[in-house]
Amino acid sequence: MKKSCQEREMRNSLGLPDDVVVDIFLRLSIKNLARLRCVCKSWNDLITSESFVGFHLSKSSRKPRLLFFRYGVSPSYLGFYPPKRQRFENLHDPPFATRLVDLDLLGSCNGVLCFCSTADHSLIYMWNPSNNKYITLPKPTYNPRYLGFGVNSMSGHLDDFKVVTISANANAEVYSWRTNSWKIIDDGFPRSIEIYGSHINCPVFVKGSVHWCARYSCYFDSQCTWLIVSFDFSKGVFHTIMLPEDMSIDDDAKYLNILDGCLCVFAGTVRNSFRAYELWVMKEYGVIESWTRRCIIEKDQIFWWPIGLTRKGKIFVRGDCEHCGNSLLSYDPNTEIFECLDIHLPCFSIQVLTFVDSIITPVPRSVIKG
Amino acid sequence: MSKLGQAKRIIFLKTADGQLFEVDEPVAMEFEIVKSFFDENEDAADDTVVPLPNVSAEPLAGIIEFCKAHVEFRANGAAGKDEVKKFNAEYIKEKSNEQLKELILAANYLNIKEMLDFLTETIANRLKNKSVEYVRAFFGIENDFTPQEEEAVRKEYEWAFEGVDED
């Protein structure tokens, strides 16, 4: 552990109190900070200290950006919203040997993105695009079928990244970034539950747990009950969360997401004969009674399906604009108005994630030499 | 505290080097430390001298100049407008790093948020896109890395050294 700021008061070569120097450094870009590490040892220590990394993350968390991932087709790309000149502001490609088109994006957490190989899911990467540092995870014991990424928020370390994998035979194991190793979960994954995995249903990390849409296994019956299954990274256990009753028994796909820090789900429901999508928010985490319907969006010519949420609670949808078919639109649930964003979406799938810049270096301490 | 209709109140401040400053109340109340002094001593006599043992006369004069102008800007509804930016740019133009440092130390001690924000932003701008050598020379910082150590840190972040301003 590095010393805290207070302990290193006035040792930063500018002759100013450390909290003032921290304030100055927090105004600088990641590129400037990376360079200033070379000025002297005390600056290097300060900029790489866990406390500074934390201050930096809290500051950038106030300005999250939306990252769009076009996947499964060449060229795949990562781009930020808002766009520049009708195109997403492109993020540079990751430095791994595997091409972006061969990767699935598992999530974004504290500035770090986690990918796995589309083909067999066994190549897993964590990458911080802001400083371009990455790590290739050691291979898990069992071939993963489903994966989830997040951080153990209870440990007090911002870089306590975790990946959980579930094999076809319901074996489960957890990777810890801090130890750079895998640990098998004795009880495995509940065998009565089948995760419903597709790109659009990518796992959602919120409240210290990663969540998937799933169904209880039931043979010869298409109306298996839907539910959410989660993995709590701090306790290392799986939990189940029931969906709103209206949407738990049907065949319509569900999309998990996060709204104002709450777990939420999009789905068509029987009530409106699947002619509309409903957005439900779990206001109090883990409390079934707190599922609240936020809005209903009618399906019509201009609106096709939801693809993500903006920070201010607007909904990104795919649909038709006047001058441009297959476009990105935003929908404001309060005014019920669609807005064309003048961005053409490729015919293939788009994943939308929240991203914050961080100076966390995703290289486990045990891997750093010297 | 002065009440409406009363004569303009003057606050007396005494610096570490023994100088006495007479400051208009609204300007002195910009200093959080002075404000809390009077909040805690509501019965303080009008001619109470507030000691400022960590501030000397030169930076205090500079701080009063800055706060006075900003109090006026706010009174005139000019806050955030171009004339404020122009004043700030002029104010900082001739200040050396040493003077800037003294101002920051004083503003930090007096706890003047707006001014501290402005000063730290100024320092940050003086560090932006500058080479490591320039920053060391400009701020008089000694390089305590061995050449090997420095090389290792530089190599780790090669991309951070592209597009740096000419020294």
A292-345, pLDDT tens digit by residue?
Answer: 998 888 876 677 777 888 777 788 888 887 777 778 888 888 888 888 887 777
Q: Are A159 and A110 in contact (CB under 8 A)?
A: yes
Least confident of A125-134, A331-340, B56-65: A331-340
Closest CA to B127 of B164, B101, B159: B164
**A·B CB contacts under 8 A:** 77
**What pLDDT is recorded for position A4?**
37
pLDDT tier at A8 (50, 70, 90 boundaries)? very low
Report the pLDDT averaged over residues B34-44: 87
Closest CA to A108 of A367, A360, A364: A360
State how far residue B124 is from chain A, nearest Cα, in angstroms.
Answer: 5
Give the position of tokens 């169904």.
A215
**What pLDDT is recorded for position A13?**
67
* Nearest residue in B to A30, CA atom: B160
pLDDT of B1 higher than 60: no
Q: Which two tokens stand for residue B82?
A: 């171009």
Q: Which residues of A touch B102 (CB under 8 A)?
A: none
Q: Are A104 and A116 in contact (CB under 8 A)?
A: yes
pLDDT of A366 higher than 70: no
Q: How high does pLDDT run on average in chain A?
A: 85
DSSP per-residue letters across A156-206: S-TT-EEEEEEETTS-EEEEETTTTEEEEETT-S-TTEEE---GGG--EEE
Report the pLDDT averaged over residues A128-142: 93
pLDDT of A7 higher than 60: no
Length of chain A measured in residues = 370
State how far residue B47 is from chain A, nearest Cα, in angstroms.
Answer: 33
- Tens digits of residue pLDDT in A71-128: 877 778 898 887 676 677 888 889 988 888 899 999 999 999 999 998 889 899 999 9
Q: Which residues of B touch A34 (CB under 8 A)?
A: 157, 159-160
CA A138 to CA A122: how far, in whole Å? 9
Of B120, B142, B153, the CB nearest to A38: B153
Closest CA to A329 of A301, A294, A354, A356: A301
Q: Does B113 touch chain A (CB under 8 A)?
A: no
Q: Which residues of B touch A128 (CB under 8 A)?
A: none
Q: A59-365: which CATH number, 2.40.50.100, 2.120.10.80, 3.40.50.970, 3.40.50.720?
A: 2.120.10.80
CA A160 to CA A236: how far, in whole Å? 13
Residue A321 vs residue B82, higher pLDDT = B82
pTM: 0.86
Contact residues for B165 (Cβ-Cβ < 8 A; gap 6+): B129, B130, B131, B134
Q: Does A302 touch chain B (CB under 8 A)?
A: no
CB count within 10 Å of CB A178 equals 15
Report the pLDDT averaged over residues B27-40: 92
The structural domains of chain A, with segments of one domain joined by +, span 2-48, 59-365
DSSP per-residue letters across A245-310: GGGTSSS--EEEEEETTEEEEEEE-GGGTTSEEEEEEESSTT-GGGEEEEEEEE--SSEEEEEEE-
**What pLDDT is recorded for position A217?**
84
pLDDT tier at A5 (50, 70, 90 boundaries)? very low
pLDDT tier at A199 (50, 70, 90 boundaries)? low
Looking at the DSSP bridge assignments, the partners of residue A175 are A163, A182
Q: Does A10 touch chain B (CB under 8 A)?
A: no
Of A35, A41, A42, the CB nearest to B157: A35
- Provide φ and ψ at B61, rounded to 5°: -60, -40
pLDDT of B149 higher than 70: yes
C-alpha distances in angstroms, B120 versus A52, A221, B89? Answer: 16, 66, 14
Residue A361 vs residue A102, higher pLDDT = A102
CA B150 to CA B14: how far, in whole Å? 46
Looking at the DSSP bridge assignments, the partners of residue A67 are A80, A353
**What pLDDT is recorded for position A229?**
95
Q: Does A48 touch chain B (CB under 8 A)?
A: no
**Contact between chains at B136 and A24 (C-beta distance less than 8 A):** no
**Contact between chains at A17 and B124 (C-beta distance less than 8 A):** no
**What pLDDT is recorded for position A365?**
52
Q: Which two tokens stand for residue B43?
A: 């019965």
ipTM here: 0.88
Of B121, B132, B139, the CB nearest to A35: B132
**What pLDDT is recorded for position A200?**
54
pLDDT tier at A12 (50, 70, 90 boundaries)? low
The structural domains of chain B, with segments of one domain joined by +, span 10-128, 130-162
Q: Which residues of B touch A11 (CB under 8 A)?
A: none
Length of chain B measured in residues = 167
Return the percentage of chain B with pLDDT > 90, whole number. Answer: 62
State how far residue A348 is from chain B, nearest Cα, in angstroms.
Answer: 33
pLDDT of A139 higher than 90: yes
pLDDT tier at B87 (50, 70, 90 boundaries)? very high
CATH code that applies to domain B10-128: 3.30.710.10
Contact residues for B28 (Cβ-Cβ < 8 A; gap 6+): B11, B13, B34, B35, B50
CA A205 to CA A128: how far, in whole Å? 17
pLDDT tier at A220 (50, 70, 90 boundaries)? low
Work out the burial of residue A239: count CB atoms within 10 Å of its CB; fewer than 13 is exposed, 13-18 middle, 19 or more buried.
Answer: middle
- Window 121-150 of A, Cβ < 8 Å to B: 131-132
